[in-house]
Structure 1
Amino acid sequence: MAQRLVAVTVHATASPDPATVHPIVMDIALPLIFTGFGPLPAVTGVRDQTGSWDHVGVSRRPVLSDGTTVFEQITSCSPPDSFAYEVSGLTNVLGRLVHGAIGSWDFARTAGGGTRIGWTYAFRPKRFRTLLVRLLIAPAWRLYMRRALAATRREVGRQTATTAE
């Protein structure tokens, strides 16, 4: 039986082209963009990173403000178009509802030469929890993602403005 995923997707645009945006997003400091939202914890740091966060196989352990950690590993990377990662080892309340998640970012050139950023986070609910994840977690997570994506877009703008000077 196939695992049912509960996916949440958000989009934004940025002025620079995908070749500029992709490496900035991949290397962004997680505490800068994941500042918490309601019951969803902030990322306060990263530990145990196995290399630069720019290729398949590298892993890290984001540390959350609730004192827990998660495990992330890049599963695909196709600059400047996309990258994806798997999240597992959730030990907080969310870990009671989901096995983990699959995150993916895609970067498409806009007609004006900028970038349309798409970010999808697909939860892998535990048995008999799909409806709960769909009705309660996904809407809150969408708001969390929108805030994180807005912060990401600001950081892309800041970094490209700095390099243009």
Structure 2
Amino acid sequence: MNPLLVTLAAAIVAGFSTITLLPASADAAEPPGYSGETPEITGGPYATYQTVRVFEAPLVPLRQWIDEGGRIVAAMEETDNIKKPVASVTLHGTWPETGSVRRLEMSDGNFVLEKVLENDFPDLFRYQVWNFTAPAGRNIAYAVAQQEWTALEDGRSELTWTYSLRPRLALMQPFVQRFVRNDMQPLMNDALDVVREQAGAVFGPGTLATQ
């Protein structure tokens, strides 16, 4: 498997969603700890994808329902190559407050670190992912993502989910962007489609009529 693609898949995280495409390994690296240092977020090049969905539900109860149930992570269908987190340990602060850091353990034994950069409920959640324990992690410096929510005038809610990967070398950006287009894009879209359908069944048109 291409080590670049392996690394990039490890970076698809969303405060409420973190996955990896790393093969199972019997000698995964030791779990990372938080030293108080986080990679500096710099200008490009980044490989970026952005997707937008409108939900038939009011913003605050929708956000609470999604966050409390971990709906988006649950909607991501796991395959032989795409793994979900199986455990998390808070290393600093109180998750998901701004500045808090946690370690996520994947089902194949690898780890990443996540830091909340900004949490302005219900409008914005922004986070950074780094310290991939897989050997291929040397190919990517970090990932930055955000979910930006907007309350629409008709009572519905709009989510704009942006995910950006920072290659360690600028010359790798076109290859990383191709992976984002071919792999991350359908993964993110399919998960949001499932959650939107679930939200419609839970809240229904009657919920909007009372707003």
TM-score tier, shorter chain, comes to 0.7 to 0.9
Q: Which moved more, 1:34-43 or 1:73-82?
A: 34-43
Matched with 2:183 is 140
Equivalent pairs counted in the alignment come to: 162
| 1:93 Cα deviation from its structure 2 partner | 6.5
Output aligned runs, 1:79-94, within 5 Å.
79-92=121-134
Structure 1 residue 2 and structure 2 residue 47: aligned? Answer: no
Q: Distance in 2 between matches of 1:89 and 1:158?
A: 38
1:77–1:83: 8 Å Cα contact kept in structure 2? yes
Q: Check 1:91–1:115 CA distance in 2 against 1; reply closer, same or farther (3 A cut).
A: same
Structure 1 residue 109 and structure 2 residue 151: aligned? Answer: yes
Which amino acid letter does the alignment assign opposite residue 58 of structure 1? S
Matched with 1:41 is 83
SS in structure 2 at match of 1:150: helix
Which residues of structure 1 form unaligned runs of 5+?
A: none
Q: Distance in 1 between matches of 2:202 and 2:93?
A: 22
With the length of structure 1 as denominator, give the TM-score of the two structures: 0.79
Q: Distance in 2 between matches of 1:106 and 1:143?
A: 19
2:98–2:116: 8 Å Cα contact kept in structure 1? yes
Q: Distance in 2 between matches of 1:104 and 1:64?
A: 21
Larger radius of gyration: 2
Q: Distance in 2 between matches of 1:137 and 1:43?
A: 20
Q: Distance in 2 between matches of 1:21 and 1:68?
A: 32
With the length of structure 2 as denominator, give the TM-score of the two structures: 0.64
Q: Check 1:101–1:90 CA distance in 2 against 1; reply closer, same or farther (3 A cut).
A: same
Output aligned runs, 1:10-159, within 5 Å.
10-29=51-70, 32-36=74-78, 39-48=81-90, 50=92, 53-92=95-134, 95-127=137-169, 128-153=171-196, 156=199
Q: Distance in 1 between matches of 2:181 and 2:139?
A: 12
CA RMSD of aligned residues (A): 2.9
Q: Check 1:34–1:134 CA distance in 2 against 1; reply closer, same or farther (3 A cut).
A: same
SS in structure 2 at match of 1:32: helix
